[in-house]
Chain A
């Protein structure tokens, strides 16, 4: 199969650029934003981002599977307040998480701890992935074995070909093809 691109290799590139321009048209450019009258004031954007990250990753211990950012339960509101205070004090993510876990246990963080009992969460998928790949490569090794020799069938086929290509035959010989794969 020869490539059709030889004389027209610019076309896909042009189309790519056109599509890019199209995307641009439908999004517009963005400008930097200015903070105003926030409910919770932070000293820096990093602290605000840390607060958002923490409230998304901390679990409300009383709710039916909600993080503290979205729950209005008393304990969730208290935890949000506490997170805000700790972030204001300059504590980092791990310190705040430890503070909460000290009081509410591992249950309150949506990321499981990495310990002997939980390492399987990462090991088992990795094991499945590798074993499935290994299986494929092993299968390929078996496939790469040489074709089965079937001399009897080969000679039968040759006999039919000879018959057909014999000078008195009314049929035309088949086109040159070796063993069907």
Chain B
């Protein structure tokens, strides 16, 4: 009975979203107060019903209700309960329901936290979100119903969850990713509401900024988790493959980052208005396009769900309606808006434009790399593949000027900045960065590894610049002690996020250049040396898990005679799904990871093993975490919670006109 309740709840959510899409919008055009006031309860009700539907689906999984097709295809009675919960969003239907739940959650949050917004604006924003919810609840209800039953016939046992998804990463990655992915709908709704209303003052940007920050930080976490999960799960030590589905999440992130910075300009200086609106539309459009790419079967990917052309058609039609409609509205309304502000060539506005230039170019690179093979093939020109070599080459060229600008950015004032006062601190930052990078390289591995050196230099430049800039600001605010509490949270957020980026760049450059790998065949007792570590295979035995069998290997790792760690690697065979999966053994330290993957058994008996030493690979995820932390800190800045009355004091006056 619970699945039926779930389906009913989803139907109610659909109904409420249809009301939300129409009444407040009608109210905004006619000034009908009651219609506008309906938006909040409708949004909250819509979320409660979606959450109920999701809860019913999870319940069906926990109860092993194999009469529900989704449960039978993705779960089994021997699956541990925490994976049964994640199996609920492991399929197309289930993940679509999770998407709907996240979308309605954001809508409800906007409804609850918009007291400082004028009612008219609130109504419009919630109505736009309602339109999006209608599209997705309808899609879930009519085209991918997770509650469909296969009665009167049903299997005695389920087909089990894909072993690749039976991992901690699966529990956290999709919810966080979807929170971010879907969260850009809020910025989108703000943009459309502004286009409908025709008002683009800087208060619009101040309202939109915290929502964009929240969505961005969840997306950052989601992508980082996905990368970390793939690293641990897939057994080849890779952490990013430029797979179409990965790119589909990376593009909204790139545009979202550009949007964050552009919003800063619009909020502070009232300029870049049309550009900011376009970016807000673009970020969510890329999210929608990502959903289309993953679920339509247009591109081949290890991540994609089983495809169905009718689903693809629906999503494309929805995409055309929402994105096409919003871009058309943009073209109609935007040319009436002109930014009034002025700024010099050497100013923060220009540097932030530079930020946007590189981020947008990077987005175009990812976009072309993902979709060009499709365009090429559809034009009858043949099949080509675009993968890592292409992306790496172009990102390599883009990250250099981007990082240089990033180190410079926080020092430069709004509107105009003269160079001489900056020369001394910047030169010191440069010396510091060079010392760090060259010093480290010369004392460890020498100068042969160019990419590593370059990455270290750029990362040191960005990170060191951020630290020194904050240190100087603290001095200006009355010394480090007094300054810490006086410096705005958004400034701290910026600094930490930029340091996070520096850490990420260093991690990527070092791990790409300095990772070493050996594919060896080992008998029990054999030792292999890699860098300064000795790996000895001490034991191999059979496995007996809840829903899998296979083999496990035990290794001892020594370095200069001292024991470093004990590693446990597995090769699992999942009986129900008849698939083999490697559980790599990872010993993580900030300086390097030791990574061992067990391969097949060979005559001897001996075993094939892949052993890696990957320096600085943790810095990649640490960098991402720092960026998300920076976003969270900036989000907590009290000025976003200030009521409308205090907006009379322009924030620019409050501290020497030099904050984020």
**Does chain A bind chain B?**
yes
Using CB atoms and an 8 Å cutoff, list the residues of chain A in contact with chain B. 1-5, 9, 12-13, 15-17, 19-20, 23-24, 26-31, 33-40, 52, 56-57, 59, 64-67, 69-70, 105-113, 117-118, 120-122, 124-125, 128-129, 132-133, 136-137, 140, 143, 181
| Contacts A57-B388, A70-B236, A140-B344 given; does A65 touch B301 at CB 8 Å | yes
Supposing A20-B436, A37-B521, A105-B383 touch, asked if A143 and B344 sit within 8 A by C-beta, the answer is yes
Instruction: Name the distance in Å between B509's Cβ and chain A's nearest Cβ.
Output: 14
- How many whole Å from B199's CB to the nearest CB in chain A? 23
Q: Indicate if the CB atoms of B518 and A12 lie closer than 8 Å.
A: no
Give which listed residue, B344, B421, B433, B439, contacts A1 with CB less than 8 A.
B421
> What are 7 A-B pairs with beta-carbon distances under 8 A?
A12-B431, A26-B591, A31-B531, A65-B244, A105-B382, A112-B386, A132-B353
Within 8 Å of chain A (Cβ to Cβ): is B590?
yes
Q: Which residue of B lies closest to A126 (CB)?
A: B361
Q: Is the CB of B532 within 8 A of A28?
A: yes
Q: Which residues of B contact A110 (CB under 8 A)?
A: 385-390
Interface string of B469-503 (1 = CB under 8 A from A): 00010011000000000000000000000000000
Nearest A residue to B345 via CB reads: A140
The CA-CA distance from A56 to B388 in the complex, in Å, is: 9
Taking the complex as formed, is B428 at the interface, i.e. its CB lies under 8 A from any CB of chain A?
A: yes
- Give chain B nearest CB distance to A33 CB in angstroms: 6
- CB–CB A64/B301 < 8 A: yes
Contact: A13 with B350, CB < 8 Å?
A: no
Query: Complex formed: what's the CA distance from A67 to B439 in Å?
Result: 37
Check B360–A12 contact: CB distance below 8 A. Answer: no
CA distance A35 to B361 in the complex (A): 43
Residues of A within 8 A of B475 (CB): 4
Interchain CB contact under 8 A, B432 and A16: yes
B446 to chain A, nearest CB (A): 10
| Bound-state Cα–Cα, A19 to B244, Å | 39
Q: Within 8 Å of chain A (Cβ to Cβ): is B336? A: no
Question: Which residues on A sit within 8 Å (CB–CB) of B520?
Answer: 36-39
Q: In the bound complex, do residue B472 and residue A4 qualify as a contact, i.e. CB atoms below 8 Å apart?
A: yes
Chain A, Cβ-Cβ closest to B369: A121
Of residues 399 through 441 on chain B, the ones whose CB sits less than 8 Å from some CB of chain A are 415, 421, 424-425, 428-429, 431-433, 435-436, 439-440
- The reply to whether A112 and B431 contact each other, CB–CB distance below 8 Å, is no
Q: Cβ of A106 and Cβ of B385 under 8 Å apart?
A: yes
A9 to B530 alpha-carbon distance, docked (Å): 43
CA of A164 to CA of B653, assembled, Å: 25
Find out whether the CB atom of B385 lies under 8 angstroms from the CB atom of A112: yes
Find the residue from A2, A13, A112 having the highest chain B CB count within 10 A: A112
Chain A residues closer than 8 Å to B531, beta-carbon distance: 30-31, 33
Residues on B with beta carbons closer than 8 Å to the beta carbon of A40: 519
Residue of B nearest to A21 (CB): B439
Docked Cα-Cα span, A121 to B393, in Å, equals 12
Contact B526 A24 (CB under 8 A): no
Task: Determine whether B32 belongs to the interface, using a CB cutoff of 8 Å to chain A.
Answer: no
A13 contacts which chain B residues (CB < 8 A)? 428, 431-432, 435
> How far, in whole Å, are A64 and B299 apart by their CA atoms in the complex?
9
- Residues of A contacting B384 in the complex (Cβ-Cβ under 8 angstroms): 106-107, 112-113, 118
Chain A residues near B432 (CB-CB < 8 A): 12-13, 15-16
Q: Quick one: closest A residue to B592, CB to CB? A: A27
Give chain B's interface residue range (CB within 8 Å of chain A): 35 or more
Q: Lowest 3 A-B CB distances belong to which pairs?
A: A110-B387, A16-B432, A111-B389
Q: Which residue of B lies closest to A27 (CB)?
A: B591
Q: Please tell me if the beta carbons of B518 and A117 are within 8 angstroms of each other in the complex.
A: no
Q: How far is the CA of A62 from the CA of B468 in the complex (A)?
A: 52
Contact residue among B302, B358, B390, B431 (Cβ-Cβ distance under 8 Å from A66)? B302
| Contact status A108-B385, CB under 8 Å | yes
Alpha-carbon distance A107/B210, docked complex (angstroms)? 44
Asked whether A59 and B387 contact (CB < 8 A) given A31-B531, A37-B522, A120-B368, the answer is yes
Contacts of B415 in A (CB 8 A): 181
Could you count the A-B residue pairs with CB atoms below 8 Å apart for me: how many are there? Answer: 180
A107, B301: Cα distance in complex, Å: 15
A107 to B384, CA, bound (A): 4
Are the C-beta atoms of B236 and A69 separated by less than 8 Å?
yes
Q: A125 near B364 (CB under 8 angstroms)? A: yes
Q: Enumerate chain A residues within 8 angstroms of B360, measured Cβ to Cβ.
A: 128, 132
Question: Distance in Å from the Cβ of B327 to the closest Cβ of chain A?
Answer: 17
Say whether A133 contacts B357, CB under 8 Å.
Answer: yes
A117 and B381 in contact, given A33-B531, A124-B368 (Cβ under 8 angstroms):
yes
* Cβ distance A28 to chain B, nearest Cβ, rounded Å: 7
The residues of B that contact A36 with a CB separation of less than 8 Å are: 520, 527-529
Q: In the complex, A57→B393 CA distance in Å?
A: 13
| Contact across chains for B364 and A128 when beta carbons are under 8 A apart | yes
- Residues on A with C-beta less than 8 A from B234 are 70
Contacts of B238 in A (CB 8 A): 70
**Cβ-closest chain B residue relative to A136:** B353
Distance (Å) between the CB of B235 and the closest chain A CB? 8
Give CA–CA (A136, B361) in the complex, Å: 15
Q: Which of B390, B435, B589 contacts A112 (CB 8 A)?
A: B390
Find residues 31-87 in chain B having any chain A CB closer than 8 Å to their own CB. Answer: none
Known: A26-B591, A143-B342. A64 touches B302 (CB 8 A): yes
Determine the residue in chain A with the shortest Cβ distance to B532.
A31
Contacts of B421 in A (CB 8 A): 1-3
Given contacts A16-B431, A16-B435, A31-B532, contact A106 B345 (CB under 8 A): no
Q: Which residues of A contact B518 (CB under 8 A)?
A: 35, 38
Chain B contacts for A143, CB-based, 8 A: 342-344
B532–A65 CB distance below 8 A: no
| Interface residue? B445 (CB, 8 A) | yes
Q: Are A5 and B428 in contact (CB under 8 A)?
A: yes
**Contact yes or no, A121 B372, CB < 8 A:** yes
**Interface residue B332 (Cβ < 8 Å from any Cβ of A):** no
Residues of A with C-beta under 8 A to B435: 13, 16-17, 20
| Given contact pairs A31-B531, A37-B526, A125 touches B361 in the complex (Cβ within 8 A) | yes
Are A33 and B388 in contact (CB-based, < 8 A)? no
The answer, among B300, B350, B443, B608, for a CB contact under 8 Å with A65, is: B300
Chain B 267-307 per-residue mask, 1 if CB under 8 angstroms from chain A, else 0: 00000000000000000000000000000000011101000
The answer to whether A37 and B528 have CB atoms under 8 Å apart is yes
Within 8 Å of chain A (Cβ to Cβ): is B542?
no
Enumerate chain B residues within 8 angstroms of A39, measured Cβ to Cβ.
519-521, 608
Q: Tell me the bound Cα distance from A27 to B559 in angstroms.
A: 13
> With a CB–CB cut-off of 8 A, which chain A residues contact B445?
30
Question: Taking the complex as formed, is B243 at the interface, i.e. its CB lies under 8 A from any CB of chain A?
Answer: yes
- Please state if B389 and A57 are interface contacts (CB–CB under 8 Å): yes
B442 to chain A, nearest CB (A): 10
Closest chain B CB from A93 CB (angstroms):
11
Q: Using an 8 Å CB-CB cutoff, how does the interface string of B363-389 with A read, 1 for contact, 0 for none?
A: 011001100100010010111111111
**Complex interface: chain B residues within 8 A of A120 (CB):** 368, 372
Interface presence of B167 (CB below 8 A): no
CA distance A26 to B591 in the complex (A): 6
Query: In the complex, A143→B350 CA distance in Å?
Result: 12
Residue of A nearest to B443 (CB): A24
B615 within 8 A of A: yes
Contact B385 A109 (CB under 8 A): yes
Measured in the bound complex, the distance between the Cα atoms of B385 and A52 in whole Å is 19
Tell whether, in the assembled complex, residue B385 and residue A117 are in contact, meaning their CB atoms are under 8 Å apart: no
- In the complex, A120→B369 CA distance in Å? 11
- In angstroms, Cα B366 to Cα A124, docked, is 12
